[in-house]
């Protein structure tokens, strides 16, 4: 399976989250003991709500579409590597705590050797290059026969990270996305692929923030390609068509 652009050799490998280290993979469940940190046991599930929904970049055993409760998706994180640059940072999504909301995405199951490989890759892609921290959440599969929620790892960019941009109007976010691109591609692709995922895989779900930005972007794009001559005039003159 193809991965994102190769990781820079000059960047140090970040440590794995404590609840994923071999010494702490116990069967303790969240809330089982006061003050105890939630821990994972193999297999590990990784929840993605941004580019991970269409390009995980690591090998996995299975995947499920579903949602997590208590968070809203927002284009509030800056990106100077994958979808932007130092000169023109892009806008990518993070999660905002919101008790009455839910965020849809994809959870990936990793087993055996896939666990260490996927976590090392994601720690570089999301933590070192993206500024995201890890957290454990309860993932609810879309499947009707799903019984209990699944404990999953998620990457969240908090306001404390240096790339955090915070809120802006949908029009301003769209305008920033239009002019930004990075090592993984144009920021427009990021927005449209995420909107397509929600539209085709989660048609019953609402994401006003996402679709409002998509709508603003589509309304702005024609203005960038306006020409002084009407298309009919250009098409009727072969010399102008060649220029």
Q: Where are the domains of the chain?
A: 44-222
Is the confidence at residue 237, as pLDDT, over 90? no
Q: Which residues are known to be catalytic? A: 126
**In the prediction, which pLDDT does 146 show?**
73
- The percentage of the chain sitting over the pLDDT mark of 90, rounded to a whole number, equals 71
User: What are 44-100's pLDDT values in tens digits?
Assistant: 999 999 999 999 999 999 999 999 999 999 999 999 999 999 999 999 999 999 999
pLDDT in tens, 150-168: 999 999 999 999 999 999 9
How far apart are the C-alpha atoms of 115 and 61, rounded to whole Å?
10
* C-alpha–C-alpha distance, residues 175 and 75, integer Å: 12
Looking at residue 207, its pLDDT comes to: 96
Whether this model's pTM surpasses 0.85: no
Domain 44-222 architecture: Roll (3.10)
The pLDDT score that the predictor gives to residue 17 is: 56
| Burial status of residue 123 (CB atoms within 10 A of its CB: 0-12, 13-18, 19 or more) | buried
């Amino acid at each position: 399976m193809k991965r994102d652009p190769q990781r820079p050799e000059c960047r140090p490998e970040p440590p794995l989250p404590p609840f994923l280290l071999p010494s702490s993979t116990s069967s303790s469940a969240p809330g089982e003991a006061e003050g105890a940190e939630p821990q994972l046991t193999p297999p590990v599930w990784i929840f993605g709500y941004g580019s991970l929904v269409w390009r995980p970049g690591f090998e996995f055993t299975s995947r499920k579409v579903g949602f997590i409760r208590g968070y809203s998706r927002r284009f509030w994180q800056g990106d100077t590597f994958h979808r932007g640059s130092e000169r023109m940072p892009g806008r990518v999504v993070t999660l905002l705590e919101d008790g009455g909301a839910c965020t849809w995405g994809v959870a990936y199951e990793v087993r055996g050797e896939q666990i260490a490989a996927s976590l090392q890759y994601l720690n570089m892609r999301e933590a070192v290059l993206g500024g995201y921290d890890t957290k454990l959440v309860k993932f609810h599969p879309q499947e009707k026969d799903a019984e209990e929620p699944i404990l999953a790892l998620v990457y969240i960019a908090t306001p404390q990270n240096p790339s955090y941009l915070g809120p802006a109007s949908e029009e301003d976010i769209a305008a920033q996305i239009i002019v930004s691109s990075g090592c993984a591609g144009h920021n427009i692709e990021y927005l449209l692929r995420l909107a397509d995922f929600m539209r085709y895989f989660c048609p019953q779900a609402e994401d006003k923030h996402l679709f409002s930005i998509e709508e603003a972007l589509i309304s702005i794009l024609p203005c960038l390609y306006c020409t002084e001559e009407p298309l009919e005039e250009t098409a009727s003159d072969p010399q102008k068509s060649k220029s």
